[in-house]
Structure 1
Amino acid sequence: MASPVKALLVEDTRFDALVLSTMLRRFHCEITIANNGKEAVDLFLEGNKFDIVLCDNDMPIMTGPEAVEKIRAMGETYVKIIGLSANNNVQEVFMTAGVDVFVPKPLKIDVLGAMIQEVINKKNNSMV
């Protein structure tokens, strides 16, 4: 049995965090929630490893793109990072920061499912 996908959810809005974590649970993900970009960066600095990161754009203390840039700068290149925002104008900022993909909110369950399946396939292939 493959280990569960470790997901980091970086989201400051409780409702959105609840919706997204409910979706992640449907795919049997192990979920960690960070309330802003700084908390997300700190989790990586502490040595935590994640398979997938769902990162909101607009948060207090440190924005999503700032966090993504710092996480990538630490050499965390293997982790799949998804930039999320209701504002489509931030796609460019997220892509420049280093996300693998930008998805407008609300995130659709089938889109998330496909991305998680991709992560699972990658994990399984690297264990062979």
Structure 2
Amino acid sequence: MASSLKALLVEDMAVQRMVLSALLRKQFHCEITMAENGKEAVDMFLEGNTFDIVFCDKDMPIMTGPEAVVKIRAMGATDVKIVGVSTDFEAMEAFMSAGADVFVPKPIRLDVVEPMIQEVINNKKN
């Protein structure tokens, strides 16, 4: 079952990017694109790139996760599933009001991510 979901990881910490990308590649065979801050992510959408799912950290230099989510949604990217990620539980409200679909606390666990990825795969099929 080669779904080849396109995932964008927006995370300023290299270790976190490596851990999450390894998980997504190994478990779900995702095609991974990485951004180190919210501005890079927004620029990717501005350049016309499309993604099935975005994992977005909260606290990053230049542009935070919630700021990026607001801009991405404002561009009309409503189909992409956006997952807000943070160690900070206060972040949930910031992400949800910015337009994220769901919030996941760090460290990200496979059992939490799996149903989300499955939902995106199912939506792509339909």
Q: Could you tell me how far apart the structure 2 residues matched to 1:80 and 1:55 are?
A: 11
Secondary structure at the residue paired with 1:88?
A: coil
Read off the aligned partner of 1:61 and give its amino acid letter: I
Contact 2:3 2:29 in 1 (8 A): no
Aligned to 1:8: 8
Alpha-carbon distance, 1:113 to partner: 1.4
Alignment CA distance shift 1:2-1:123 (3 Å): farther
Quick one: percent identity of the two aligned structures? 69
Structure 1 runs not aligned, ≥5 long: none
1:69 is aligned to 2:70: yes
Aligned to 2:43: 42
Secondary structure at the residue paired with 1:87?
A: coil
Q: Could you tell me how far apart the structure 2 residues matched to 1:3 and 1:115 are?
A: 14
Aligned to 1:123: 124
What CA deviation, in whole Å up to 9, does each residue of 1:42-76 have, x standing for no partner?
A: 00000000000000000000000000000000000
- Report the count of equivalent residues: 125
Runs of 4+ off more than 4 Å: none
Contact 1:87 1:104 in 2 (8 A): yes
What is the TM-score when the length of structure 1 is the normalising length? Answer: 0.95
Contact 1:2 1:124 in 2 (8 A): no
What is the TM-score when the length of structure 2 is the normalising length? Answer: 0.97
Alpha-carbon distance, 1:80 to partner: 0.1
Aligned to 2:107: 106
RMSD between aligned alpha carbons?
0.9
Secondary structure at the residue paired with 2:67?
A: helix
What CA deviation, in whole Å up to 9, does each residue of 1:24-53 have, x standing for no partner?
A: 102100000000000000000000000000
1:20 is aligned to 2:17: no
Contact 2:38 2:68 in 1 (8 A): yes
Secondary structure at the residue paired with 2:50?
A: coil
Structure 2 runs not aligned, ≥5 long: none
